[in-house]
Amino acid sequence: MHETYQAEHLGRADHLGSFLRPPEILAARQRLAEDPNSVQILTELHALEDRNIRRVIAKQQELGFRFATDGEFRRNNFMSDCLDAVAGFDTADAVNRDWHAGGAKGDVHR
Give 39-93 pLDDT, tens digit per residue.
999 999 999 999 999 999 999 899 888 888 898 888 877 777 788 788 887 777 8
Residue extents of the structural domains in the chain:
15-85
The percent of residues in the chain predicted with pLDDT above 90, rounded, is: 36
Strand spans (E) along 26-105: 99-100
- Residue 5 Cα distances to 9, 12, 48, 66, 68, angstroms: 6, 9, 32, 11, 16
Average pLDDT score over the chain: 80
